[in-house]
Every structure is written in structure tokens, then in C-alpha cells.
């Protein structure tokens, strides 16, 4: 491998990591071109945080190798650390300190002088819309403000490569949109970004390329369009009132679909990819079911979700991924769906 590939900011080859019996990563390959955004999409326990921790030198891989900004994450860990920023699932914010103090202290860790650290803090507080909160203790911040402060903290050292581990999980829809704006502006400035998420729409919105990981393996890679095409585009969904009519319903809607219909046996809910047909697909769906004499409830058309992508790629829903003992929580069905963990 070339020692300094100036085009590739993040490169992982066959990276493995186990925790006891749990194979968290089973040979992950990733490549992120400089100035682009990679979305790493996967459900709870897929291995996203483990991958991020390895790439940011917080964890040693068992096997394989990885380079960030041209440096090996094991042999040149210090150099990697100088090139990166990380905003993670466990925020690096000191709660008793104010927003400004948090940023100034990190500036000092980066060997800025006090005046430099103060100037950098002021700049970031403005950029992240935290000016009003600058002199309040971080523990009083809303979830969205804490995430923005955490993100600002990861940028104090002007990193060339930024890692964001689930930057919007748990945020309300408005904070989520404002976080997206902030991230987009960073990307516009040329930062290389690796972002993990459980939400297809987030990867869709922010990423140039997406890799889908499931149980420690990359199961698909491509643009969001490519992934959605594997689902069959927008998804028409409804519930058959009488379970005996499931077969009739499938027969009626199959001709409208671009993907295979999926039936949830216990609820009678049917979903099928219908391309980019828009509201016409909805009307055709109503007509086809009506003509077949099928009574359906809750007929809707929606964008594909991570679950749909999973279903199309693996034949199982993301939330059906067997969790190792002690991690029985479910999360991440939809961005506005409340986390149940
Ligand atoms: N320090 C650890 N000790 C033991 N097992 C671990 C440890 N860290 C991660 N694991 C296990 O490795 C697997 C991958 O975990 P990881 O945190 O990387 O998943 P994730 O994709 O980030 O999930 P989430 O969306 O919940 O954050 C899981 O089965 C997890 O339980
Ligand atoms: Mg994680």
C-alpha cells in the first residue's frame, strides 16, 4: 500500500475486532476519498462505534490495517490523533464548565496560547449558534446544544478528518435538521467526514457514499440512490384487514412493484417498493386493492427506511438482528420514532 495516498483520507482493510466471544468486526473494508462524506449505516450492535474507535486510535484492531490521513492507526497513532476530530456517542463535554470554557480548555490541549484558544472558542460558538449559551454551564444545555458543543469541541484543532458517531440519535426533529445544516457547512469547507447513523435518510442527506454494516460485515456499499434501488424505490405499505385476503392483496399489488413484496405474518402488513411513482403509485394501489375486493387499512407511500434496505439486502429487518445477551434494546426504526432504549 502506498505510504501517502493523498487522495484517500481513510482506508481500512480487513479490520477485525472481537470482545470475548463477540465478533464486533469480521473484516471491514472502507475507503473515503479526501473531501467526501462516508455514511456508515447499521443497526444497534452492527459494529459502527467499534470501527470508529479503531480508526480514531482509541482501540487496537485484532487484525487487518487502517490508515487515516496517510498514517497507520496502530504504528502512527499520535500522528493520526493530530489529524482527526471525533464527536462520539459519549460526549467529551465537561458538564460543570461553560460552553466557552470547554472549548478554551480543549484549545489549550492543542497547545494554543490562551488568546488563541479564546479566539477559536469565540469563532466556534458563533459558527454553532451557541453564543447565547457560551457563559452557561453545559449541564443546563438541551440535548441539541450539547451535541453542537461536542461537535464544536471536535473541531478546535481544525482536523482534516472528522468522525461523527451517530450525531443526531436522540435529537428532536428540529435539532436534527439544524445539526444537518452544521454538518453540511463543515463538508462545504472541505473536511473529510465519516459519519455513522442508523437512519437511511440521514446518510441520504449527508453522505456521498454509504456502506451498510450488519453484524460486523459490510453487506452493501454505494450511493444512496443505488441502495434505494435495491429496495425498489418508494415503499407502498398497508395492512390487510382480513388475514385470509393476504394472497389476494399480494396478487393485486405485485404488478405495481419494482421489488419483492414483504408480508409481516403476524400483523398482515404488506410493503412493496414502487419506484419513484409518487402519488400515482398510491392511487394505483387503492384501485388495485379495490378491484380485488381487498379491504386495506393505513395505505401509505413512504421513502425507504433502513429497515427496508435491510430487508432487501438480508431478508431480515434491522431490528430482528439477534442481539448478544444483555443488549436486548431496540432502537432506530425511524428518525422521529422515539428511542426505546
Ligand atoms: N467494550 C466492549 N466489550 C464487549 N463487547 C463490546 C464492547 N464494545 C462493543 N461490544 C460489542 O460489539 C458489538 C458491536 O458494538 P458497537 O458498539 O460497535 O455497535 P454499534 O453499531 O455502534 O451499535 P449502536 O448503534 O448501538 O451504537 C456489539 O455486539 C457490542 O455488544
Ligand atoms: Mg455505536
Does residue 311 lie in a domain region?
Answer: no
Candidate of 46, 88, 340 to mutate for ligand 1, largest count of ligand atoms within 8 Å of Cβ: 46
If asked whether residues 245 and 207 sit together in one domain, one would say no
Q: What was the pLDDT predicted at 327?
A: 41
Q: What was the pLDDT predicted at 303?
A: 84
Q: What is the mean pLDDT of residues 272-279?
A: 82
* Residue where one domain finishes, among candidates 201, 226, 251: 226
319 alpha carbon, closest ligand: 1
If asked whether residues 256 and 143 sit together in one domain, one would say no
CA of 45 to the centre of ligand 2 (A): 7
Does residue 321 lie in a domain region?
Answer: no
If asked whether residues 28 and 96 sit together in one domain, one would say yes
Please provide residue 131's backbone torsions phi and psi, each rounded to the nearest 5 degrees: -60, -45
If asked whether residues 185 and 283 sit together in one domain, one would say no
Does residue 103 lie in a domain region?
Answer: yes
Summary mean pLDDT of the chain: 87
Residue identifier of the C-alpha nearest atom 16 of ligand 1? 47
If asked whether residues 71 and 215 sit together in one domain, one would say yes
327 in contact with ligand 1, CB cutoff 6 A: yes
Q: Which of 13-22, 146-155, 239-248 has the highest mean pLDDT?
A: 13-22
Residue 246 domain boundaries: 233-303
Domain with residue 180: its CATH number is 3.40.50.300
If asked whether residues 272 and 184 sit together in one domain, one would say no
- The answer to whether residue 90 scores a pLDDT higher than 70 is no
Q: Where does the chain have alpha helices with state H?
A: 48-55, 77-83, 99-109, 114-127, 143-154, 173-188, 200-206, 224-231, 246-253, 279-291, 306-314
If asked whether residues 126 and 214 sit together in one domain, one would say yes
If asked whether residues 192 and 285 sit together in one domain, one would say no
If asked whether residues 209 and 289 sit together in one domain, one would say no
What count of other Cβ atoms lies within 10 Å of the Cβ of residue 187? 19
What string of DSSP letters covers 26-60? EEEEEEEETT-EEEEE--TTSSHHHHHHHHTTSS-
CA of 230 to the centre of ligand 2 (A): 25
Domain with residue 287: its CATH number is 3.30.70.100
Strand partners, 233: 275
If asked whether residues 167 and 216 sit together in one domain, one would say yes
Alpha carbon distance 282, 299 (integer Å): 8
* Residue where one domain finishes, among candidates 168, 197, 226: 226
Q: Which one has a higher pLDDT value, 114 or 318?
A: 114
CA of 44 to the centre of ligand 1 (A): 8
Alpha carbon distance 134, 141 (integer Å): 10
Lowest mean pLDDT segment, chosen from 108-112, 242-246, 304-308: 304-308
For the chain, the domain total comes to: 2
CA 251 distance to own-chain centroid? 36
Does residue 309 lie in a domain region?
Answer: no
If asked whether residues 275 and 211 sit together in one domain, one would say no
Q: What was the pLDDT predicted at 237?
A: 93
CA of 106 to the centre of ligand 2 (A): 24
* Residue where one domain finishes, among candidates 226, 250, 268: 226
18 alpha carbon, closest ligand: 1
Residue identifier of the C-alpha nearest atom 5 of ligand 1? 19
- Contact criterion met (CB below 8 Å) for 289 and 296: yes
If asked whether residues 42 and 180 sit together in one domain, one would say yes
Alpha carbon distance 322, 10 (integer Å): 30
45 in contact with ligand 1, CB cutoff 6 A: yes
Q: What is the mean pLDDT of residues 20-44?
A: 95
Does residue 3 lie in a domain region?
Answer: no
Residue identifier of the C-alpha nearest atom 3 of ligand 1? 19
Does residue 323 lie in a domain region?
Answer: no
Q: Which of 51-55, 153-157, 252-256 has the highest mean pLDDT?
A: 51-55
Does residue 80 lie in a domain region?
Answer: yes
Does residue 91 lie in a domain region?
Answer: yes
Amino acid at each position: 500500500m502506498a505510504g501517502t495516498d493523498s487522495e484517500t483520507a481513510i482506508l481500512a482493510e480487513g479490520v477485525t475486532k472481537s470482545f470475548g466471544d463477540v465478533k464486533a468486526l469480521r473484516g471491514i473494508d472502507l475507503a473515503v476519498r479526501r473531501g467526501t462524506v462516508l455514511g456508515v449505516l447499521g443497526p444497534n450492535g452492527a459494529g459502527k462505534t467499534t470501527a470508529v474507535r479503531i480508526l480514531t486510535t482509541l482501540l487496537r484492531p485484532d487484525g487487518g490495517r487502517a490508515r487515516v490521513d496517510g498514517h497507520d492507526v496502530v504504528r502512527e497513532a499520535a500522528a493520526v490523533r493530530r489529524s482527526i476530530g471525533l464527536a462520539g456517542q459519549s460526549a467529551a463535554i465537561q458538564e460543570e464548565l461553560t460552553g466557552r470554557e470547554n472549548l478554551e480548555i480543549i484549545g489549550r490541549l492543542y497547545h494554543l496560547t490562551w488568546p488563541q484558544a479564546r479566539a477559536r472558542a469565540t469563532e466556534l460558538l458563533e459558527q454553532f449558534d451557541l453564543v447565547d449559551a457560551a457563559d452557561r454551564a453545559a449541564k443546563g444545555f438541551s440535548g441539541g446544544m450539547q451535541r453542537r458543543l461536542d461537535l464544536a469541541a471536535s473541531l478546535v484543532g481544525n482536523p482534516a478528518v472528522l468522525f461523527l458517531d451517530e450525531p443526531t440519535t436522540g435529537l428532536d426533529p428540529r435539532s436534527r435538521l439544524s445539526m444537518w445544516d452544521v454538518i453540511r457547512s463543515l463538508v462545504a469547507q472541505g473536511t473529510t467526514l465519516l459519519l455513522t447513523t442508523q437512519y437511511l435518510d440521514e446518510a441520504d442527506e449527508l453522505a456521498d457514499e454509504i456502506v451498510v454494516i450488519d453484524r460486523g460485515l459490510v453487506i452493501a456499499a454505494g450511493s444512496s440512490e443505488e441502495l434505494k434501488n435495491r429496495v425498489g424505490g418508494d415503499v407502498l405499505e398497508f395492512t390487510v384487514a382480513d388475514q385470509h385476503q393476504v394472497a389476494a392483496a399480494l396478487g393485486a399489488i405485485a404488478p405495481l412493484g419494482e421489488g419483492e413484496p414483504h408480508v409481516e405474518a403476524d400483523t398482515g402488513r404488506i410493503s412493496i417498493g414502487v419506484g419513484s411513482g409518487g402519488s400515482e403509485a398510491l392511487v394505483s394501489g387503492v384501485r388495485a386493492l379495490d378491484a380485488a375486493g381487498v379491504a386495506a387499512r393505513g395505505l401509505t407511500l413512504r421513502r425507504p427506511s433502513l429497515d427496508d434496505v435491510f430487508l432487501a439486502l438480508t431478508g431480515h429487518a434491522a431490528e430482528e438482528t439477534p442481539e448478544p445477551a444483555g443488549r436486548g434494546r431496540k432502537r432506530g426504526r425511524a428518525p422521529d420514532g422515539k428511542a426505546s432504549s
